[in-house]
Every structure is written in C-alpha cells, then in structure tokens.
C-alpha cells in the first residue's frame, strides 16, 4: 500500500497530516471489508465455508496490523503530533480529535505482538459458534478448555496493554477498549453505590407485582414472515434508511455491524416465537444501525468519524428499547399494528396494557436473557466481578463454575440448576470481550440521563411515541450524538448534553418511577 497522499490533496494544518488521513482512509476500507466478511459469516455463509472465511479474515487482520504499525506511520504520527503541539492555532477541533484517534488506534495495535492481535480477532469471530456448541453439548470440560485458552490470551494482552498505558491492573487496560473514561476503582464504586438501593427496589417491585394479577401470556400464531414485516415497519419508522442498510435474521446472537453506507441489523426471529422478543432485538439493534447511518458524512473514512464504541452504542440501544420501547405509549401504538399483522383481533393478550405489563414484569432468574430490566444489573455485577478476577489473576478457570454459583446465590438469591443457566450462558468469555460487561450498567446509567434530557427538550415525546413518531427524538440524537462521531470523549459528550457526571442516581430514579410508582 502506498502510504503517501495524492498530489491534489487538500490543504493541511501540518506537513504529513494529509498523508496520515490518506493512510487511515485505506485502513478504514480494510476494517470495512473485514466486518462485512464477519457479518456474512454470521448470517448466510454455509457452515462448510467457516475454515476458509476465518483464513480470509486472518489475512486482512495481518495486513491491518502490519500497515498500522509500519515505521512510516509511526514516524509520521510522532512528527505531526509534535507540530500540532507547537502550532495548535493552525488546527481545528475536528482535525485535532482525528489526530488523537489515529494515535489511539496505533497505540492499541502497537501494544500487541502480531500473533496476539491476530489471535484476538480469530477468537472474536469463532467464539459465537464455540459458545453455541457448548450450550448444545453442556460439556463443561470441553468449554473450560476453550475458555482457559481465551483467558490466557487476554491475560497476555492485558499485561502488554497495562505496560503500554500504565494502568493499575491488566483488567483496566482491557476496559480501555470499551470505556476509556472510567477507572476500575470508579466502576467498583458505582456498583457498590448501586447494589443496596437496587436490591431494595427489586424487593419492593416483586412485592407490588405479587399483589397484582399476572399479565396474560402472549398467545397467537407468529410466523417469521409476519414478525419480520412488523420489525421492518418499526425500524423504518425509527428513521432507518433501507437504501443504506437492511434487516436480517440470525441464529446466533443479535448484533449490528457495517458502515454508514451498509448497516446490517441482525435479530432473532423463530417460527411461532414470542414476537415481542424479536421486536425488542429490532429496537435494540436498530438504534445501533441508526447511529452508523448518521455518523458525520464529511469524516466517514477517518477515525474521528467513527462511532464512540460499546459505551454509547449500548446507551442508545437501551434508550430506544428499554426507556422508550417499554412504555404504555409505545404499546398503545404497537398493539393495533400487531393485531393486524398477526390477525389476532379481539385477542386479550394483545391489549396495550397487557403488552406493557409483560415487558415490565419483574423477574428473579438465573438466566440473564430471561431477566427483567432490574435483575439484569445483578447479572452484570456477577459477570463483572468474575471476569475482573480472571484477568487480574485472582480467579482460576478451574474455580469459575463454583465461584459463579456462589455469586449467583449472593446477588440473585438463586443457584443455577445446571451449566446452561449458569457459567456456560455467558458468550463474552468465548469471544474475548473482557471489559465489555460493565458497559451494560454504565450505558444503562447514561440512557437514564439521556431520557431525562430528551423529555426536557421534547415535552410531548410521550404523545409522539404513541403516534409512532420518532423523528424528533432521532433528530436530537443525530444532532447531539450520532453526528459528533469521536470528536470528543464519550463521557465528556454526555456531560455536556445532560449536565450530569456519571452517577447511579438517574438510573435508580428511573427504576423507582417505572416499578414502584403509578406514573406512566
């Protein structure tokens, strides 16, 4: 690859910066190709093509690493950064942020050896299938062997990144990849402040629920074709541009990937399954697809034009699916359409209040994917504690099952009946996403803050949702989050929007309002 920019390049704030932009645009293309290959592997690729596809992805990964860490790029980054430090007035905010993101990408890749980086990408691509196989077989010894290999790999990665970024622990070094603005100690502190009040809310919510009549189970014939028609309709109303993306069914975990020009939204959708689950995936993953499509158009090829990563992605998903998509107003809108799509007229289980209560139902379960909004947080605390100790060397994989069961009893008041509702249910330790789990709770907190701000700026938002109008909400997010790319740090961006520092209080207020009061 030619690292030099074309001769007709636009004026630059410092010599060499245009060459860096040209290089990182090429790097962005390679990332895009790799993502497309991985997405196809998750959806339409025949199982027999797995070995070849992993080989192809590995080849591109080697190229990404080699091109990013070449001495030419390293020297050029050092030179341009020095010029920016000495002549900051010549730089605008976006270009400075772009240079910062270039350094971030370079630092995270150059911290690793080529073999470790390649191994991490291979694990992320084959881990979902490994997890699916483990759930099917229920063989802990086989799963433990694979998890041990992944943990050992990420311990090495954590150690190298700890030295590179001078973090307190290896786990904090991995957390940088998902939530760079928060320390491990701050994460521990947030969970400590949240746990006791959360347990009280959960207890009172269960007591209130026990005094009420249970909602009716959803009853009907939900073909995959009808479910996907409803899903596509909702996604289109959210503002998703189907000329630059599409909606697909996956047999693995739901996910979203791609680019502003090709955003792929993958959802679960089984024949005769509960259509609310598929709709939940559509709202959750659709929020991510909207984020990709609304990134700053002038910076699509540059690091500063990319999304903020898991922390903000999750927050937007929770905002759409949990904060807005579980309100009475949303179900007033959805109920009539669902009745028509599934031809279930005068079906009491389809009544808006029943749908609302089904999604509001407070659970106590050992399975996270069956947990309600409150109890999901207990599951995340459990997984966070275990993966932190695994990476920091305070827990052995041989003791993982026993520790999981102990934490489950302490946090959930329940012990798993078996492996599939216990330690084997977590896919992140198969795909190597160590550091991702705590972003679930951090993102929930951010979503609660964003919800408050949205209702301040759009007082009639509930009425708009009831009419299926998501335009004002989508435009506010586009202006204030989507279109900002990575021009500022994630938590700094949220603080500027909400005026709030990261705190457990907005989330607790939201949960108390939804589950303990009669406010709607």
Cα separation of the two ends of the chain: 58
Single residue among 110, 133, 159 that ends a domain in this structure: 110
Q: Is the pTM of this model over 0.95?
A: no
pLDDT category of residue 307 using cuts at 50, 70 and 90: very high
427-452 mean pLDDT: 94
Structural domains counted in the chain: 2
Predicted confidence at residue 403, as pLDDT, reads 97
* 322 and 463 belong to one structural domain: yes
DSSP 24-88: HHHHHHHHHHHHHHHHHHHHTS-GGGHHHHHHHHHHHHHHHHHHHS-HHHHHHHHHHHHHHHH-G
Q: Tens of pLDDT along 311-366?
A: 999 999 999 999 999 999 999 999 999 999 999 988 999 999 999 999 999 989 99
List the structure tokens of 303. Answer: 């690091």
Q: Assess if residue 127 is contained within a domain.
A: no
Q: Tens of pLDDT along 73-105?
A: 999 999 999 999 999 889 999 999 999 999 999
Distances (CA, A) of 227 to 114, 177, 215, 238: 44, 35, 22, 17
Residue 3 has pLDDT above 50, yes or no: no
* 477 and 351 belong to one structural domain: yes
Q: Assess if residue 188 is contained within a domain.
A: no
* 338 and 477 belong to one structural domain: yes
Predicted confidence at residue 45, as pLDDT, reads 78
Q: Assess if residue 136 is contained within a domain.
A: no
Predicted confidence at residue 8, as pLDDT, reads 44
DSSP classification of residue 201: H
* 469 and 337 belong to one structural domain: yes
- Collapsing DSSP states into helix, strand and coil, what is residue 256? strand
The H-or-E segment that residue 360 falls in is helix 352-360
Residue 214 has pLDDT above 70, yes or no: yes
Residue 467 has pLDDT above 80, yes or no: yes
Predicted confidence at residue 35, as pLDDT, reads 86
Q: Tens of pLDDT along 102-133?
A: 999 999 999 999 999 989 988 988 888 899 89
Q: Tens of pLDDT along 446-459?
A: 999 999 999 999 99
396 compared with 59, residue with greater pLDDT: 396
* 98 and 228 belong to one structural domain: no
Q: Report yes or no: 53 and 41 within 8 Å, Cβ to Cβ.
A: yes
Predicted confidence at residue 1, as pLDDT, reads 41
Q: At residue 154, what are phi and psi to the nearest 5 degrees?
A: -80, -20
* 354 and 228 belong to one structural domain: yes
Q: Assess if residue 366 is contained within a domain.
A: no
Q: What span, in angstroms and rounded, lies between the C-alpha atoms of 144 and 125?
A: 19
Q: Assess if residue 488 is contained within a domain.
A: yes
Q: Assess if residue 379 is contained within a domain.
A: no
* 325 and 468 belong to one structural domain: yes
Q: What span, in angstroms and rounded, lies between the C-alpha atoms of 447 and 232?
A: 24
Q: Assess if residue 338 is contained within a domain.
A: yes
Predicted confidence at residue 43, as pLDDT, reads 73
Q: Tens of pLDDT along 223-281?
A: 999 999 999 999 999 999 999 999 999 877 788 988 999 999 999 998 777 899 999 99
Single residue among 110, 135, 168 that ends a domain in this structure: 110
- Collapsing DSSP states into helix, strand and coil, what is residue 267? strand
* 229 and 105 belong to one structural domain: no
Q: Report yes or no: 231 and 279 within 8 Å, Cβ to Cβ.
A: yes
Give the domain range for residue 344: 224-360+458-492
pLDDT category of residue 6 using cuts at 50, 70 and 90: very low
Q: Assess if residue 160 is contained within a domain.
A: no
How many residues in total does the chain contain? 520
Single residue among 110, 125, 159 that ends a domain in this structure: 110
């Amino acid at each position: 690859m030619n690292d030099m920019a074309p001769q007709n390049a636009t004026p630059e704030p410092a010599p060499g910066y245009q060459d860096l932009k040209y290089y990182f645009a090429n790097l962005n293309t390679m990332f895009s190709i790799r993502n497309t290959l991985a997405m196809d592997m998750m959806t339409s690729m025949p199982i027999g093509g797995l070995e070849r596809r992993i080989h192809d992805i590995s080849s591109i990964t080697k190229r990404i690493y080699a091109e990013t860490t070449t001495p030419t790029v390293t020297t050029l980054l050092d030179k341009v950064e020095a010029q920016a430090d000495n002549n900051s007035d010549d730089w605008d905010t976006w270009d400075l942020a772009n240079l910062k993101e270039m350094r971030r990408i370079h630092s995270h890749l150059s911290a690793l050896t080529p073999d470790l980086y390649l191994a991490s990408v291979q694990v992320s691509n084959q881990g979902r299938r490994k997890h699916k196989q483990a759930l099917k077989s229920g063989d802990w010894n086989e799963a433990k062997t694979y998890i041990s290999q992944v943990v050992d790999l990420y311990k090495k990665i954590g150690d190298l990144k700890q030295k590179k970024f001078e973090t307190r622990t290896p786990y904090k070094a991995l957390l940088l990849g998902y939530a760079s603005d928060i320390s491990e100690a701050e994460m521990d502190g947030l969970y400590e402040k949240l746990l006791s009040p959360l347990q009280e809310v959960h207890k009172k919510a269960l007591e209130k629920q026990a005094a009420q009549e249970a909602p009716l189970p959803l009853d009907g014939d939900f073909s995959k074709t009808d479910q996907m028609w409803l899903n596509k309709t909702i996604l289109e109303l959210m503002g998703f541009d189907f000329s630059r993306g599409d909606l697909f069914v996956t047999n693995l975990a739901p996910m979203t990937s791609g680019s502003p020009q090709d955003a792929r939204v993958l959802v679960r959708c089984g024949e005769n399954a509960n259509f609310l689950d598929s709709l939940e995936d559509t709202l959750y993953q659709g929020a991510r697809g909207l984020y990709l499509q609304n990134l700053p158009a002038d910076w699509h090829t540059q690091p500063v034009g990319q999304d903020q990563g898991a922390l903000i992605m999750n927050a937007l998903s929770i905002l759409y699916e949990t904060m807005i998509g579980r309100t009475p107003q949303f179900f007033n809108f959805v109920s009539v359409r669902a009745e028509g799509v599934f031809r279930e007229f005068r079906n009491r289980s389809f009544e808006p209040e029943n749908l609302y209560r089904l999604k509001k139902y407070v659970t106590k379960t050992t399975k996270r994917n069956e947990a309600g909004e409150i109890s999901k947080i207990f599951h995340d605390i459990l997984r966070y504690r275990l993966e932190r100790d695994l990476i920091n060397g305070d827990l052995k994989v041989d003791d993982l099952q026993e520790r999981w069961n102990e934490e489950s009893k302490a946090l959930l008041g329940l012990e798993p009946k078996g492996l599939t509702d216990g330690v084997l249910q977590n896919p992140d330790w198969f795909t190597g996403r160590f550091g991702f789990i705590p972003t679930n709770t951090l993102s929930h907190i951010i979503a609660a803050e964003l919800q408050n701000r949205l209702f301040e700026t759009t007082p009639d938002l509930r009425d708009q949702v009831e009419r299926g109008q998501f335009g004002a909400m989508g435009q506010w997010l586009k202006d204030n989050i989507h279109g900002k790319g990575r021009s500022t740090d994630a938590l700094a961006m949220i603080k500027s929007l909400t005026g709030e520092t990261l705190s457990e209080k907005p989330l607790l207020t939201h949960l108390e309002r939804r589950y303990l009061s009669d406010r709607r």
